[in-house]
A = this chain, B = another copy of it.
Amino acid sequence: MPSYKAPVDDTLFLLNDVLNFQQFGSLPGFADVTPDVAAQILSEAGKLCEEVLTPLNQSGDAVGCTRKPDASVAAPPGFKAAFDAYAQGGWIGLPVPEEYGGQGLPYTLTMPMSEFASSANMAFAMYPGLTQGALAALLTHGSDEQKRLYAPKMTEGRWTGTMNLTEPQCGTDLGLLTTKAVPRADGSYSITGQKIFISAGEHDLAENIIHLVLARIEGAPAGVKGISLFIVPKILVNPDGSLGARNGVACGSIEEKMGIHGNATCVMNYDGAQGFLVGEANRGLNAMFVMMNEARLGVAVQGLSQSEVAYQNAVAYARERLQGRALTGPKNPGKNADPIIVHPDIRRMLLEIRSFNEAARGLALAAALDSDIAHRSDDPAARQAAEDRLGLLTPVLKGVFTDVGFDNAVKAQQVFGGHGYIREWGMEQFVRDARIAMIYEGANGIQALDLVGRKLPRDGGRAIMAYFKDSAEFLGSLSGDEAMKPFVTPAQSALGDLQKATMWLMQNAMAKPDNAGAASYDYMHLFGRVALGLMWVRIARAAIEKKAREPDAAAWMDAKLTTARFYMERMLPETSLRLARISTGADTMMSLPEDMF
């Protein structure tokens, strides 16, 4: 059975030494989080994930979810008790304001728990994760009454949440959605339609499920401008918060999927279900975007999470498996073979994964910190800068972390040879589970289009220009530091590639939009490589400082510097390939007639 150890120390190093978490003490909720408190929280989080969630991962995959004849759904054995433990630990409500029963702690501290829980059991982690996303949307766009009625129970984990967007004929293109909302005399709506691919749509972990549903009010404009957001509880809620009648919504079936079998992916049938408008009519997409943006970061972290747990198990296997001899002669002369970790190609695979994991974790935490700044800072300039960065980087993180996370799970599986293909070793489950993250919350091609088509041009390119300026200044500030040169020089070159690609887009995409589409996916990956590279520069600088300050940490910090060098040598050069591909434009791919494919 695969094992998992939450990377608590690495997360604390990133928070304390790289991101200087303590310097944000003036933000609401941050003041109480001293390094000791952060360490305690993360170590509790890790413990729950290691001891409660990890042991249920393989069995959850094997047993999956079961829909019963009465349309109820049973989550895999053990999930209910684990969910109770998760909820009672206060983990769902960690970032929720205290007035709704939460702890009002930074979102930055929620991020590690999302990673740990997903590494331990991705299918499980989606239940609280979606609840947190639904909560965020409700707290931002719901009325006071709606917040009062729904938020505390969701914070407690007595109720869970879902997001209902997709329909059979409409996924990416939400303008095509046809689920109907007919006004009722009491001000609520009658919702009718079919939603598909609804994660955690039905289960037995909670007393109630609060569905957030996109639908079209009768007579609303066509397209995305006629979509509204509704709360549709599985069981209607009385004004005093007690449960009332069963609502007209039911799980029609569970999808048979490649992975995440422990999470019920439901077809949800709405048959005149009572729904309650959230925010303004016809502005539903806007409200749902709060949930989607948070979910996109959550999905990005799923990519990291599978990469991390797959890495840990591949390292353990590579240390134990005796096969062949080192190219430089036996390293294990007492035995009849060396552990395969002596082989350069095994180390290549492991370091490719590791050099992603540690920087990706840094970027995820930095994004969470930006989210906290954007929501909590009283400095409008800081808020805007953080929001710009977050908007720019969210599609990059979602697209790149999930693509690379999947590739890394495949690489880690490869370390196991034939055993990687066998169920009992658990590696193939990481691959199957990781695969969904490239697809849902907007397939990665859509993330790339969002980046190139919306995030780059927004506000006259303010976000990307700030990104270039900040990055250049940061690298420039280190240019006199000889020890930093092996990191700063390649990062500067890669940043140059990103600037050239951005320039190419400005010059070629306006007149010919297909050039933007043709470049988008490579541009997203180019951006991702650069962002990871810049994070490695930050990590390297922190490592050099920490090593000087804390001799006990020298071996650990040297490992960071070696991994950073590996990234610079082997991973970052990809930026010039991406630039070359982008520069070829759209003509060739658009010139093949549709019927000749």
List A residues at the B interface (Cβ < 8 Å): 166, 169-173, 176, 196-197, 255-259, 315, 318-319, 322-324, 327-328, 336-337, 339, 341-351, 354, 406, 410, 413-414, 417-418, 420-424, 428, 431-432, 435-436, 438-440, 443-445, 448-449, 513-514, 516-518, 520-521, 555-556, 558-559, 562-563, 565-566, 569-570, 573-574, 576-577, 580-581, 584, 586, 588-594, 596-597
CA gap between A257 and B418 in the complex, in Å: 10
Contact A597 B315 (CB under 8 A): yes
Contact A258 B421 (CB under 8 A): yes
Contact B517 A171 (CB under 8 A): no
Could you pull out 16 A-B pairs where Cβ atoms are within 8 angstroms? A172-B417, A173-B323, A176-B337, A258-B421, A315-B597, A343-B517, A344-B517, A344-B518, A348-B518, A354-B597, A414-B445, A417-B439, A421-B435, A566-B589, A570-B581, A576-B577
Q: Of the candidates B438, B566, B570, B588, which one forms a contact with A414 in the assembled complex, judged by CB atoms under 8 Å apart? A: B438
Contact A577 B581 (CB under 8 A): no
Contact A597 B176 (CB under 8 A): no
Contact B351 A589 (CB under 8 A): yes
Q: Of the candidates B319, B428, B521, which one forms a contact with A348 in the assembled complex, judged by CB atoms under 8 Å apart? A: B521
- Considering the complex, give the chain B residue whose CB is closest to the CB of A327: B513
A440: chain B residues at CB < 8 Å are: 418
A349: chain B residues at CB < 8 Å are: 445
Q: A interface, by DSSP: helix, strand, loop or mixed?
A: helix
CA gap between A323 and B414 in the complex, in Å: 36
A423: chain B residues at CB < 8 Å are: 255-258
Measured CB to CB, the closest approach of chain B to A47, in angstroms, equals 23
- Considering the complex, give the chain B residue whose CB is closest to the CB of A345: B445
The answer to whether residues A570 and B584 also contact, given A336-B176, A343-B517 and a CB cut-off of 8 A, is yes
CA gap between A423 and B514 in the complex, in Å: 33
Measured CB to CB, the closest approach of chain B to A13, in angstroms, equals 14
A424: chain B residues at CB < 8 Å are: 256
Measured CB to CB, the closest approach of chain B to A268, in angstroms, equals 14
A346: chain B residues at CB < 8 Å are: 445
A444: chain B residues at CB < 8 Å are: 414
Contact B428 A592 (CB under 8 A): no
Leading 5 A-B pairs by shortest Cβ distance:
A344-B517, A327-B513, A258-B428, A344-B518, A559-B596
Contact B555 A596 (CB under 8 A): yes
Q: Of the candidates B169, B322, B417, B517, which one forms a contact with A327 in the assembled complex, judged by CB atoms under 8 Å apart? A: B517
Measured CB to CB, the closest approach of chain B to A56, in angstroms, equals 19
Q: Of the candidates B258, B420, B574, B588, which one forms a contact with A431 in the assembled complex, judged by CB atoms under 8 Å apart? A: B258
Most chain B C-beta atoms within 10 Å of own C-beta, residue among A166, A424, A443: A443
Measured CB to CB, the closest approach of chain B to A438, in angstroms, equals 7
